[in-house]
């Protein structure tokens, strides 16, 4: 497990510097390509999909949640995250994660009317997969109710993502590079940073395998429904 001298705030600061560089590069790329994105604050159908992240990225989110700036009820959040863990550990629904209509645990101001809206409570510290997701199509096409309309997505290539995320997790610790469901990994990181409960590599690997199944199913659906435009 990460050793005793690990400083989560320092790890987070370093990660945020890399995120900002990636954000700038993507915005520059979007402008250079003459694209205009249709994403806006409060629009959040993309926050109802299955989100995976490295344990390093989840540690950044957990440190944010425990920081003085965050006004989060940590116990209530852990309950939600554990509920997500139980869902993800059970049989996968045929319609995929979206069919659960379950907002990401970090989404706040969720509309009860089912309009796929909300705001990210960890926006500055959100994982890379959320930072690279933009569309140029009508926002309503992102909701599953409009799955007959393909969305036009813009984002960094998987290679660029690996490069940035790899640098975030490049302190030589195998824990941080493990990929798994964001909700499950943040719960593990929260209990580690708050209570000192050490993460187990076996547990992270178990979730990496579960994550592969979910991510593969989502990718197959994506490729069938979306027209991807990537640099
Ligand atoms: S990707 Fe779609 S749902 Fe997400 S913010 Fe952009 S337009 Fe809205
Ligand atoms: S972390 Fe934030 S941006 Fe990412 S899915 Fe959750 S609420 Fe949306």
Residue of 58, 130, 133, 186 to mutate, ligand 2, most atoms within 8 A of C-beta: 130
CA of 104 to the centre of ligand 2 (A): 6
User: The whole model's pTM is what?
Assistant: 0.88
Ligand 1 nearest-atom number relative to CA 139: 7
Ligand with an atom nearest the CA of residue 129: 2
**CB-based burial, 138-153: b 16+ in 10 Å, e otherwise:** ebebbbbeeeeeebbb
Q: Output the six-digit token pair for 7.
A: 């400083």
CB-ligand 1 contact for 132 (6 Å cutoff): no
* Domain annotation covers residue 90: yes
Q: Residue 227: which pLDDT band, with cuts at 50, 70 and 90?
A: very low
Ligand 1 nearest-atom number relative to CA 45: 3
* Domain annotation covers residue 2: no
* Domain annotation covers residue 3: no
Q: Residue 226: which pLDDT band, with cuts at 50, 70 and 90?
A: very low
Ligand with an atom nearest the CA of residue 136: 1
CA dist 138 and 127 (Å) reads: 24
- Which one is predicted more confidently, 50 or 148? 50
* Domain annotation covers residue 222: yes
pLDDT beyond 50 at 175: yes
Q: Output the six-digit token pair for 13.
A: 């600061």
* Domain annotation covers residue 52: yes
Q: What is the average pLDDT value for the chain, to the nearest integer?
A: 83
Which structural domain, as residue segments, surrounds residue 207?
8-230
CA dist 40 and 139 (Å) reads: 9
- What value does the mean pLDDT take over residues 158-176? 74
**Number of folded domains in the chain?**
1
Strand 179-181 to 52-54 pairing = antiparallel
């Amino acid at each position: 497990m990460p050793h005793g001298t690990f400083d989560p705030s320092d790890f987070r600061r370093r990660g945020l510097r890399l995120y900002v560089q990636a954000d700038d590069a993507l915005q520059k790329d979007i402008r250079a390509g003459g694209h205009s994105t249709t994403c806006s604050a409060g629009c959040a159908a993309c926050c109802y999909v299955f989100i995976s992240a490295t344990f390093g990225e989840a540690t950044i989110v957990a440190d944010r949640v425990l920081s003085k700036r965050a006004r989060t009820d940590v116990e209530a959040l852990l309950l939600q995250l554990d509920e997500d863990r139980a869902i993800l550990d059970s049989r996968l629904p045929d319609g995929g994660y979206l069919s659960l209509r379950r907002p990401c645990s970090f989404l706040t101001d969720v509309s009860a009317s089912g309009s796929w809206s909300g705001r990210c409570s960890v926006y500055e510290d959100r994982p890379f997969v959320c930072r690279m997701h933009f569309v140029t199509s009508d926002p309503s096409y992102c909701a599953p109710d409009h799955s007959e309309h393909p969305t036009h997505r813009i984002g960094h290539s998987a290679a660029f993502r690996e490069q940035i995320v790899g640098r975030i997790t490049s302190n030589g610790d195998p824990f941080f590079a493990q990929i798994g469901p964001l909700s499950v990994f943040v719960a593990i990181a929260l209990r580690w940073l708050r209570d000192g409960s050490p993460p187990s590599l076996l547990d992270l690997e178990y979730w990496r395998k579960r994550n592969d199944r979910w991510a593969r199913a989502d990718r197959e659906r994506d490729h069938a429904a979306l027209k991807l435009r990537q640099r």
